[in-house]
Amino acid sequence: MFRTLSAIAVGLALASAFALYVVSYDTRRLDADVSAQERRIERLRSDIAVLKAELAFLSRPERIEPLARSMGFQPANGAQYIEPDTLASAGSSPDRPRHASGAGQEKETGQRPSNE
Partner 1 sequence: MSTALGQSPSPAFSATRANYAARSFAVALAMVVGFSAISLQLVRLALKGQIVEPRVAMTQPLTESYWRPDIVDRHGRLLATDIEAPTLYADPALIIDVDEVVEHLVQEFPEFNAADLRRSLSDRNRRYVRLKRGISPATAQRIHNFGLPGIAFRNEPKRVYPNGSLAGHVIGHVNIDNKGTSGFERFIDEAVGIEAVHSGAPGSLRPVRISLDLAVQYGLEDELRSAARQFGAKGAAGLILDANTGEVLAAASLPKVDPANRSHILDASRLDKIAEGVYELGSIFKTITVAMALEAGTAELGKVYDVRAPLRVGRYTIRDLHPLGRPLSVREIFVHSSNVGAGMMGLELGSDRQRAYLAKFGLIEPIRTEAGPVAAPKLPQNWGKAETITISYGHGMAVAPMQFAAAAATLVNGGLRVMPTFRSGAPMAAERRRIISPETSAAIRELMRRNVESAHGTGRRAEVAGYEVGGKTGTAELPGRGGYRETAVIASFVAAFPMSAPKYVVLVMLHEPKPTERTKGRITAGLNAAPVAGRIIARTAPLLGVFPQ
Neighbours of 69 (CB within 10 A): 15
User: Among residue numbers 21 through 40, which ones bind partner 1 (CB under 8 A)?
Assistant: 23-24, 26-28, 30-31
- By CB under 8 A, tell whether 107 contacts partner 1: no
Q: Which is nearer to partner 1, 94 or 115 (CB)?
A: 115
Report the sign of the C-alpha dihedral through residues 71, 76, 79, 83, in that order. positive
Torsion region of 10: left, alpha or beta (phi above 0 gives left; psi -120 to 50 gives alpha): alpha
**Which residues bind to partner 1, rule: CB under 8 A?**
13, 16, 20, 23-24, 26-28, 30-31, 42, 45-46, 48-50, 52-57, 60-62, 65, 75-81, 111-113, 115-116
